[in-house]
Structure 1
């Protein structure tokens, strides 16, 4: 089965959002390492803490991308949509509390969320339904 255009667009937006997140991680790495909460966690758990959490945080979206864009997994689709909704809620909460980061970190964070929203929207376009097996013919009711 050829991939629908919506899935190609999903892939571009989603991987673009992932790349923006990676860039933001690299730019803010030093500041994050100096966060007292991170220091306290690393003291309790070990020096590997931040690197491991970051690697997991970067790997999960790639795993979801693979199962959505390459395998047509409806489960991965809904996990991605749920995580995107959590990201939007977290963004709104940080704005409401006045805790959203200023500068390039804030701009990149916002760009990543916008790209994830756009990617999620692509998963609900009509041409994406067959990719997820959601457009199966129904039997006529007698």
Structure 2
């Protein structure tokens, strides 16, 4: 059995992924329009397919990280996710710099859920589980 902290990580992280997907679907048209207005993008062949592929690639990476952390107890994956979430700090000022739209609000909510999920990976029961160390069965109650 997995510890409570890992279960909470899993719930919050998967919720963040679902909200991220909803945000992508809501903002897809605006993103494609923005990309089309950028000089040189059309000449490079970067259009709607590029937007979808970029999102799918990032989503797949996050799903793999979830799988390796929550199902395979990978401590390395925990640190990779920690690094990605830390990099996300640099995007926060951009969320507040422009008009606060639905997609920006969903992006902020996604980030906050990722941080909350990550906090659970640094609780004692999760640390022991991710290190593969023996645990007291009471931890799982």
Identify whether the pair has TM-score above 0.5, normalized to the shorter chain.
yes
Corresponding residue for residue 71 of structure 2: 70
Q: Distance in 2 between matches of 1:86 and 1:133?
A: 24
Q: How many matched pairs?
A: 133
Corresponding residue for residue 91 of structure 2: 90
Measured against aligned partners, the alpha-carbon deviations of 1:87-133 in whole angstroms (never above 9, x if no partner) come to 12211x3157x23x522112111110110000110000011112111
- Residue 35 of structure 1 aligns to a residue whose secondary structure is helix
1:1-142 equivalences under 5 Å are: 2-36=1-35, 40-47=40-47, 48-91=49-92, 93-95=93-95, 98-99=97-98, 101-133=99-131, 135=133
Q: Distance in 1 between matches of 2:116 and 2:79?
A: 15
Q: Distance in 2 between matches of 1:95 and 1:24?
A: 14
CA shift, 1:46, in A, is: 4.7
- Residue 129 of structure 1 aligns to a residue whose secondary structure is helix
TM-score by length of 2: 0.84
Q: Distance in 1 between matches of 2:37 and 2:51?
A: 7
- Contact 1:17 1:115 survives alignment (8 Å): yes
TM-score by length of 1: 0.83
Classify 1:11/1:29 alpha carbon distance in 2 versus 1 (closer, same or farther; 3 Å). same
- Contact 1:10 1:122 survives alignment (8 Å): yes
- Contact 1:6 1:122 survives alignment (8 Å): yes
Which consecutive residues of structure 1, in runs of 5 or more, have no partner in the other structure?
137-142
RMSD: 2.2
Classify 1:14/1:38 alpha carbon distance in 2 versus 1 (closer, same or farther; 3 Å). farther
CA shift, 1:43, in A, is: 3.4
